[in-house]
Amino acid sequence: MQRTLKQLAEWLGLEFRGEPSLLIEGVSTLEMAGANMVTFLANPKYKDQLPGTRAGAVIISPEVPYERACLISRNPYADFTKVVGLYAPPIPRPAPGIHPLAVVHPEAHLGQDVAIGPFCVVGAKARLGDHTVLTAQVFIGDDTVVGDHCIVYANVVVRERVAIGNRVIIHPGTVIGADGFGFAPVGETYAKIPQIGTVVIEDDVEIGANVTIDRASLGETRLGQGCKIDNLVQIAHNVTIGPLTVIAAQTGISGSSKVGRHVMIGGQAGLSGHLTIGDHAVLGAQAGITRDVPEKQFVSGYPARPHTESMRQLAAVARLPELIKKIQRLEARLQALEEK
């Protein structure tokens, strides 16, 4: 696909600078883009990379000075996402139908134009909504509901009595509805606590690869509308996550914690059980959350504390070698004075 710089600007509804007839043939990063490609700069702190780019044009915010061809955007990342979709359209959807190597229980209910790939298993009384796709080797348990326009990629397991909304994307290897970690000490052994609850995934959620979302012991584990979950995230039993929350890779959330709406959780964060995280809170990468976090607060470190306080403590720790040497010098001077 080819578009001129002017055509691309008109399609995006943006102002531009540069030669209107410049052909744009693809997209890439600042480092890799060629003379007929468009790239973007979302964070002004990386503007020092601009002189080295060979990109034909850059989508850039008006606050960043740039003399070469560019498209002026208030949200460069979002506009670049649109351009990616233009030059790299999505992979075609599989044709509707049931592959001959799939196993679909006769009591399952399939909506219109469902596509079920090879080696998939759909259990008794399971329901798949209209235009939903199971790519290959997907397991859908008995009495589970998957909504309309969902895409479930290879090797996903959705166990029995789980409810998944509309337009949900589940990436390979994810397991939804496995038993929660519930065991009662009995002498020197442990008795398994039956995990008889469910998992509810609301509309427009995207779940990364190899995520585990445990069913509730009683009641439900719930992910709110529009949540985005990165790869390798563990969500334990009876956790509730509010709408539009985003969780980065390798985060673990212990049982019965309640995470508010529009929360941002950085990679490798760990949350203890039975906590409450307020709306619009930000949990920094590798934060160890051991107590409730108020709404709109940014916390980091272990144990997590307000981010500015955590940064001050880290700065103080970095000065410890220097402070130890200073104390040693003062001790030596004091000893010399005492000897006199």
Residues 6+ apart with CB under 8 A from 206: 168, 169, 171, 227, 228, 229
Q: DSSP string of 70-106?
A: EEE-SSHHHHHHHHHHHHSPPPPPPPSEE-TT-EE-T
Between the CA atoms of 289, 168, 126 and 160, what dihedral angle is there, to the nearest 10 degrees?
Answer: -10
SS3 category, 36:
coil
CB 175 within 8 A of CB 196: no
- β-strand pairing of 298-300 with 305-306: antiparallel
CB atoms within 10 A of CB 324: 10
- Counting every residue written for the chain, the total comes to 340
Give the integer Cα–Cα distance in Å for 108 and 86: 37
Report d(CA 289, CA 1) in Å as an integer: 48
Which of 308, 256, 312 is CA-nearest to residue 282? 308
DSSP for 155-183, please give it: T-EE-TT-EE-SS-EE-TT-EEEEPP--E
Task: Give the residue among 212, 291, 286 at the shortest CA–CA distance from 257.
Answer: 291
Report phi then psi at 11, rounded to 5: -65, -35
From 237, 262, 280, 307, the catalytic residue: 237
131 is catalytic: no
Which of the residues are catalytic?
237
